[in-house]
A = this chain, B = another copy of it.
Amino acid sequence: MNKKTTPLGVLAVDVPPSTPNSLYPEPFASRMSGREKRQLGDFFGLGNFGVNLTRLAPNAVSALRHAHSKQDEFIYILSGCPMLQTDEGRTQLSPGMCAGFPSGSGNACNLINESPDEVLYLEIGDRTPGDEVVYPDDDIQALLADGRWRFTHKDGTPY
């Protein structure tokens, strides 16, 4: 780590928020307003997985509701009470709760902050090449290739 002069430990909130706020094409990127991510894993030069500290203002969402073909995902709630939305319905989460989403389940998930208070959580996902993402509620799909997300309409035409 010292090769990069990265500190041994940091306060997570001191890591700068990532920009742009969303990689989605419009009109979806604008729907991510009120969401702020700090890429903690990238800060330390990790490559195999990402760890984000994510803040959701009231009414903000974590992502479009989605499911990964190859990436496992995991969330841990630090503060606030977001609603977890999945194919099976809605579940209120609270601080100290966690949830995991194995790749290939097809169960599309996201979080929405329907409360008047901020939500702060950790989200973890690996970076398995060839990962595909489906979004059952929106006309978009994604493929991870050469380390980059490529977004298209569901008929395959590019954004």
Contacts and interface: CB of A to CB of B under 8 A. Distances in A.
B51 A84 contact: no
A116 interface: no
A135 interface: no
A101 interface: yes
Interface SS of chain A: mixed
B2 A49 contact: no
A47 interface: yes
A23 interface: no
B72 A47 contact: yes
A48 interface: yes
A21 interface: no
B76 A48 contact: no
A41 B74 contact: yes
Interface in A65-96: 71-72, 74, 76, 84, 86, 88, 91, 93, 96
Contacts of A40: 74, 76, 98, 100
Interface of A: 1-3, 6, 8-13, 40-41, 43-49, 51, 71-72, 74, 76, 84, 86, 88, 91, 93, 96-103, 105, 107, 122, 124, 126, 128
